């Protein structure tokens, strides 16, 4: 049983604890992981992640974010005695969610398994209710959840020609399909490429679609597992159900909003060096939900470009002197991956 505890603390300590609690409660908004502090007209201190108007004097602090937001939530909106499980999908696109019960002693479900659902963008839906099979007998349950962005896309996808994800310049592929450094380790990145480019290079949509998800609050990077989930990304949902991911973007470098429709060639963000990275580059991959599993799929860019390490990708919008660069230069450039 929970117990309420009442104790007295020195006033300075109370103030410090209150501030930490307020920082924890402030949600991180689209402007990035920043905390703004100012006095309102009544002299009260305000903590917010929203930038105040220019006429207000404020203090700004960069917050360190080391964990991304969970995109899909399973919530019990019933009670301990009468559980009613809801799923909330925060993606601006569909998601497939599965529940796996590790324990179900004396449990009667509202319907039979398997417990897997495809929920549309922004859905908030009751999916399951639980009750004891035999009343007045002990009952218990536990479960884990798994979610995959996108609705399942079965079979082979039509080979679409993607535009290069940058407007100007000529940049070297530092890791291609099945790259041994990191791409060959997971089916999610097996068919990804890394394009070495300076930080703050404009990144554009390689194909039209809807901004399904974005993460722009991370600021750390390094070639260590601790940074594996700290890449800033934009995920774009295409009309055929596939999704393009643009990763390792600059902190506060995302220029599009979730749910917005973007055209091919439209500016999305600025490249960076966040997350599991050995240097500034853009990680580009096309993925699909293969049925409760997120996998990468082969793709090609417009023109005749081999997507392997050492190849230079040159935008047709680049100046003529850059367009004359040889299409393949092996062994030169950085190893940014």
Q: In the prediction, which pLDDT does 318 show?
A: 54
Q: Tens of pLDDT along 270-294?
A: 999 998 788 899 999 999 999 999 9
Residues of the chain with confidence (pLDDT) below 70: 1-35, 49, 60-68, 221, 304, 317-337
- Same domain, residue pair 268 and 122: no
Among residues 227, 245, 234, the alpha carbon closest in space to that of 268 is found at 234
- Same domain, residue pair 123 and 250: no
Q: Tens of pLDDT along 56-82?
A: 887 766 554 444 578 999 999 999 889
CA distance 35 to 60: 6
Q: Across the strands, what pairs with 148?
A: 96
Total domain count, the chain: 3
Asked whether residue 67 is domain-assigned, the answer is no
CA distance 68 to 50: 19
Residue span of the structural domain in which 213 resides: 161-323
Look-up: residue for tokens 């680049």? 318
Q: Across the strands, what pairs with 328?
A: 311
Q: What is the largest CA-CA distance in the chain?
A: 81
Asked whether residue 25 is domain-assigned, the answer is yes
Read off the CATH number of the domain in which 180 is found: 2.70.70.10
- Same domain, residue pair 229 and 248: yes
Instruction: Please calculate the CA angle 139-141-144 and round it to the nearest 5 degrees.
Output: 175
Burial 152-181 (b: 16+ CB within 10 A, else e): bbeeebeeeebbbbbbebbbbbbbbbebee
Burial class of 118 by CB neighbour count within 10 A (0 to 12, 13 to 18, 19+) = middle
pTM for the full predicted model:
0.77
- Same domain, residue pair 194 and 254: yes
- Same domain, residue pair 167 and 261: yes
Read off the CATH number of the domain in which 102 is found: 2.60.40
Q: In the prediction, which pLDDT does 158 show?
A: 83
- Same domain, residue pair 58 and 76: no
Asked whether residue 6 is domain-assigned, the answer is no
Q: In the prediction, which pLDDT does 57 show?
A: 80
């Amino acid at each position: 049983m929970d117990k309420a505890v009442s104790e007295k603390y020195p006033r300075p300590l109370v103030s410090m604890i209150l501030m930490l609690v307020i920082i924890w409660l402030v949600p991180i908004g689209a402007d990035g992981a920043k905390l703004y502090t100012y006095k309102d007209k009544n002299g009260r201190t305000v903590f917010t992640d929203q930038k105040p108007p220019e006429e207000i004097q404020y203090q700004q602090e960069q917050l360190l974010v080391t964990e991304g937001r969970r995109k899909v939530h399973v919530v019990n909106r019933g009670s301990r005695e009468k559980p009613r499980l809801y799923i909330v999908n925060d993606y601006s696109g569909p998601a497939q969610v599965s529940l796996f019960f590790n324990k179900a002693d004396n449990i009667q479900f509202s319907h039979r398994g398997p417990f897997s659902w495809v929920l549309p963008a922004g859905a908030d839906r009751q999916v399951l209710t639980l009750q004891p099979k035999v009343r007045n007998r002990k009952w218990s349950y536990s479960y884990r959840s798994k979610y995959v962005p996108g609705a399942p896309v079965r079979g082979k996808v039509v080979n679409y020609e993607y535009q290069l994800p940058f407007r100007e310049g000529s940049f070297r592929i530092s890791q291609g399909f099945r790259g041994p450094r990191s791409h060959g380790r997971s089916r999610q990145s097996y068919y990804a490429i890394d394009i070495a480019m300076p930080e703050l290079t404009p990144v554009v949509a390689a194909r039209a679609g809807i901004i399904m998800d974005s993460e722009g609050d991370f600021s750390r990077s390094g070639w260590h597992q601790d940074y594996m989930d700290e890449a800033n990304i934009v995920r774009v949902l295409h009309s055929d159900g596939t999704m393009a991911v643009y990763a390792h973007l600059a902190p506060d470098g995302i220029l599009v909003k979730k749910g917005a429709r973007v055209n091919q060639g439209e500016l999305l963000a600025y490249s960076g060096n966040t997350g599991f990275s050995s240097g500034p580059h853009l990680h580009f991959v096309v993925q699909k939900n293969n049925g409760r599993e997120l996998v990468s799929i082969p793709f090609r860019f417009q023109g005749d470009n081999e997507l392997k390490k050492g190849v230079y990708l040159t935008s047709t919008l680049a100046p003529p002197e850059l367009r004359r660069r040889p299409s393949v230069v092996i062994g030169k450039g950085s190893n940014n991956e």
